[in-house]
């Protein structure tokens, strides 16, 4: 099953109040294993970057000055996303911005049926605990020492590791059902099944001791002084 883990950086908290998306980072996973395929883009929001937002992600007006507007890159992003489920932490926030940008340039919004929110998964699995990306990385031993500022691609890479742990850990890769199923409901661990080995059958090799080995073993036992099994 193909899934996209993604994160966004923005000028603020609410696109309905004029805030815009300035960065998106996406990680492709197949059967909860990263494929190495990524998508990363910056966008010129057409507005000044508020100081409060820049403190969080470090993206400045001067950095974004030569970046394209979202509309010029939207089709390329949609081609990468395909029809895969989209995974994010506090996913409603990211979906709000992504769909606002898409609709703002004439594309259809992405269905919320495709949304998988790791915040929801974490609350079910660890009620009462902290569920920020930093807290989840700490809980699952994901190294975030190189994360000094928020960044869409970096945060997606960290979240991909967290998502694997939230949905069953690395053992899910032992043998995933390839029957078109999605591995269960959101938040449930993917069920592993036995995958029969194919190829040429090899008969078992003999492992019995030879007469010479048996004789040496007997001589060794006889050389022991008061062994425990004779007490």
User: Which residue ranges are tagged as binding site for substrate?
Assistant: 7, 9, 52, 57, 155
3-class secondary structure for 162-223? Answer: HHHHHCCCHHHHHCECCCCCCCCCCCCCCCECCCCCCCCCCCCCCCCCCHHHHHHHHHHHHC
User: Concatenated DSSP letters for 126-165?
Assistant: STTS--SHHHHHHHHT---TT-SS--HHHHHHHHHHHHHH
* Binding site as annotated, residues for a divalent metal cation: 7, 9, 155
Active site residue 207: no
> From CA 13, how far away is CA 160, in angstroms rounded?
23
Angle formed at CA 177 by CA 172 and CA 179, multiple of 5 degrees = 155
Tell me which residue of 41, 140, 21, 156 sits closest to 87, measured CA to CA: 156
Q: Which residues are annotated as a binding site?
A: 7, 9, 52, 57, 155
Catalytic residue among 40, 131, 146, 150: 150
Catalytic residue positions? 150
């Amino acid at each position: 099953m193909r899934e996209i883990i993604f994160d966004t950086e923005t000028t603020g908290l609410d696109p309905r109040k004029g805030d815009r998306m300035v960065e998106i980072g996406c990680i492709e996973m197949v059967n909860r294993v990263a494929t190495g395929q990524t998508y990363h883009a910056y966008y010129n929001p057409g507005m000044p970057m508020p100081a409060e937002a820049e403190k969080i992600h470090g993206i400045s007006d001067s950095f974004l000055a030569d970046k394209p507007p979202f509309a010029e890159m939207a089709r390329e992003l949609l081609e990468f996303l395909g029809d895969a489920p989209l995974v994010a932490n506090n996913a409603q926030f990211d979906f709000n911005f992504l769909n606002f940008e898409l609709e703002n340039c004439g594309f259809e919004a992405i269905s919320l049926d495709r949304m998988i929110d790791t915040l929801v998964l974490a609350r079910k699995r660890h009620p009462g605990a902290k569920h920020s990306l930093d807290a989840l990385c700490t809980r699952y031993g994901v190294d975030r020492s190189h994360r000094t500022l928020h960044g869409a691609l970096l945060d997606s890479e960290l979240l991909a590791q967290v998502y694997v742990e939230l949905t069953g850990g690395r053992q899910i890769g032992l043998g995933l059902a390839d029957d078109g199923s999605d591995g269960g409901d959101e938040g449930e661990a993917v069920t592993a099944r036995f995958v029969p080995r194919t190829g040429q059958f090899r008969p078992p090799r003999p492992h019995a001791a030879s007469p010479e080995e048996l004789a040496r073993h007997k001589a060794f036992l006889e050389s022991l002084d008061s062994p425990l099994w004779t007490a």
